[in-house]
Structure 1
Amino acid sequence: MSLVQYSDSGSDSDSDAELPPPKRPRHIIQPISDLPPLPPTFHDLYASSTRVSVQDDPTLHGGRKRVTPHVEGNWPTHLYLEWYPSKEELPLLKNLIPSQSKDRAKNQVRIHSLLHSDLGAQLPLHISLSRSVVLRTEQRTLFMDSVQKAVEGSRIPPFNVIPDRLMWAPNHDRTRWFLVLHVQRPKENTLNALLWSSNRALARVGQPPLYASSVDDASHQQDYSDNFHISIAWTLTEPRAENTQYLTNIDLDPLQDLHIQFDCLKVKIGNNVTSIPLPMNM
């Protein structure tokens, strides 16, 4: 395909010389800060990165290994509450993640922030209400219906949580360690109520509950408040003593000003994310 040919922009013909200089528009564009915020559903459209391989290739995602192998007809599924920190909140969170020296001779544990992607885009944070489970194609509709009815019948209104401490926590398989903000138990015990609803929906499709040791334990509505947290960083290696000792010296008082609001439950099945609004009190 040939390039488009343009006339010489340096022409000094009489007709060009007589043209008055163009007027500059008074209003070119509104400042970005004046633009309205994006609707929450916008983030759901771009919740997943583009799939570049169906094989377990740790080099594509920071050395992480796929916990559940990709199988045609299987749908990785996750229930969670999502939080996009504001521009004022992000510096508070960034200061909680230990900085790392570029001196590789120290063989430091490599810590990956969950606040931004490798390209600098802000990432959402979340509180998990399920494990990463796998549904069969024919189970998706039943599961979504179960979750929808559970949330609608829960009478749980939008609520706030407040972080109260910082700690390291491994995943179920101890293949990754996460730097997490534990959150206080909210009023009306809403986190536990949503977890119980999630675990009941999972039981209907034969999936294991989160935090409970069995489906029977999950049905007893135990208190799992000690388990609710928001991950802000991760590492593949168990943190060393110096990575845990510093936690005792961090001033967490500014976190008391963080009132993190949740108004919907997120259900991710494959690459599709559905937001189920929490019912408003009438």
Structure 2
Amino acid sequence: MSGLSYLCDYGDSEESDTENTKPKKVKLRTPDLSGVALIPIENHVDDPELHDGRYRTFPHVRGNWASYAYFKYPRETSLLNLIDKLQVALASVGEVSHKCDDLHISISKTVVLKYHMITTFTESLREAFAKFESFELSFDSVDVYVNEDNSRTFIALKADFFSNKFLLKSTQIVDEVLAAFSLPKYYDDPSFHMSIIWFNGDCKQKILELIEKLNKTLSKHTENNREIVLIHKVHCKIGNKYFQFQLD
């Protein structure tokens, strides 16, 4: 039914003025929407069974793009061997451990971007890192972290002193870009680390009892497998879009 058919006839205005009568109250007909296709509001529900028991900690809102900047670490053989050894050492925790699929070091919090901001934001990052030099990334210890809602526990490798200097400088660059978009900056005293293994729930106390053993495993592995990893790109994930920018 045409929308024009819903317009009501209130009478001739000139005739009403002449007769100086009050306007009649006209009852509007109820529109027939039986043939109109309605678009339902999206109701996104996460199924933990599809993600090894993991829950989404960043709420899904249509039109919001979860975004963060990071340095990607290559999945080379030596590191994968170390992860296997650490998993063996963690067997006494009594919980199922999982290898992290995406090996990286975050240099920003996860923030919300609107679609129209994506191009300007990524171009700003590209320009900001145009003069940032490539650097070597290495680790000197194992530590344990729990996310904010205590739903997951992570075993991570902490960046060494030399790497920290570059990582701290990189977060300052990202913070300047975030500030231009009125988005939250990174942590005041960041602990730069790369998560390699995770558990469901809060297992921190159990793992801390093994932390010395884990660090000995790392130390022995590093002595026998000295590999230099050069970081020459900064990455940015925005929703399901990936961007990378070459360093100097």
Whole-Å Cα distance in 1 between the matches of residues 163 and 71 of structure 2?
16
Whole-Å Cα distance in 2 between the matches of residues 100 and 190 of structure 1?
31
| Bigger Cα displacement from structure 2, 55-64 vs 260-269 | 55-64
* 2:128 equivalent to 1:150: yes
RMSD of aligned alpha carbons: 2.4
Aligned to 1:7: none
Unaligned runs of 5+ in 1: 1-52, 115-122, 213-223
On the 8 A contact 2:136/2:228 being kept in 1, the answer is: yes
SS in 1 for 2:184: coil
In 2 relative to 1, CA 182–240 (structure 1 residues): closer, same or farther, beyond 3 Å? closer
Unaligned runs of 5+ in 2: 1-42
Aligned to 2:84: 94
Whole-Å Cα distance in 1 between the matches of residues 52 and 95 of structure 2?
13
SS in 1 for 2:168: helix
Aligned to 1:235: 199
Aligned to 2:70: 80
Whole-Å Cα distance in 1 between the matches of residues 104 and 231 of structure 2?
10
Whole-Å Cα distance in 2 between the matches of residues 167 and 187 of structure 1?
16
1:175 offset after TM fit, Å? Answer: 2.8
1:156 offset after TM fit, Å? Answer: 2.1
On the 8 A contact 1:185/1:191 being kept in 2, the answer is: no
On the 8 A contact 1:161/1:185 being kept in 2, the answer is: no
* 2:110 equivalent to 1:110: no
The count of corresponding residues between Structure 1 and Structure 2 is 201
SS in 1 for 2:201: coil
1:96 offset after TM fit, Å? Answer: 1.7
* 2:192 equivalent to 1:197: no
On the 8 A contact 1:78/1:133 being kept in 2, the answer is: yes
Aligned to 1:185: 161
Aligned to 2:243: 274
Out of 210, 226, 230, the residue aligned to residue 246 of structure 1 is 210
Higher share of residues assigned helix: 2
1:108 offset after TM fit, Å? Answer: 2.4
C-alpha deviations, 1:47-89, integer Å up to 9, x for none? xxxxxx9422222111211122222211111110001231233
Whole-Å Cα distance in 2 between the matches of residues 241 and 70 of structure 1?
31
Amino acid aligned to 1:168: V
Larger Rg: 2
1:202 offset after TM fit, Å? Answer: 1.5
1:97 offset after TM fit, Å? Answer: 2.4
Whole-Å Cα distance in 2 between the matches of residues 96 and 247 of structure 1?
10
* 2:245 equivalent to 1:255: no
Whole-Å Cα distance in 2 between the matches of residues 107 and 89 of structure 1?
22
SS in 2 for 1:142: helix
On the 8 A contact 2:153/2:204 being kept in 1, the answer is: no
C-alpha deviations, 1:121-172, integer Å up to 9, x for none? xx341000111221111211221122111111xx321111221110111223
Aligned to 1:46: none
| Bigger Cα displacement from structure 2, 176-185 vs 235-244 | 235-244
Percent of aligned pairs sharing the same letter: 27
In 2 relative to 1, CA 68–99 (structure 1 residues): closer, same or farther, beyond 3 Å? same
Whole-Å Cα distance in 2 between the matches of residues 74 and 187 of structure 1?
33
Amino acid aligned to 2:99: S
1:188 offset after TM fit, Å? Answer: 8.9
Aligned to 1:138: 116
Whole-Å Cα distance in 1 between the matches of residues 162 and 147 of structure 2?
24
SS in 1 for 2:236: strand
Q: Normalising to structure 2: TM-score of the pair?
A: 0.73
Amino acid aligned to 2:50: L
Whole-Å Cα distance in 2 between the matches of residues 237 and 70 of structure 1?
21
Q: Normalising to structure 1: TM-score of the pair?
A: 0.65
Amino acid aligned to 1:239: C
In 2 relative to 1, CA 240–177 (structure 1 residues): closer, same or farther, beyond 3 Å? closer
In 2 relative to 1, CA 59–191 (structure 1 residues): closer, same or farther, beyond 3 Å? same
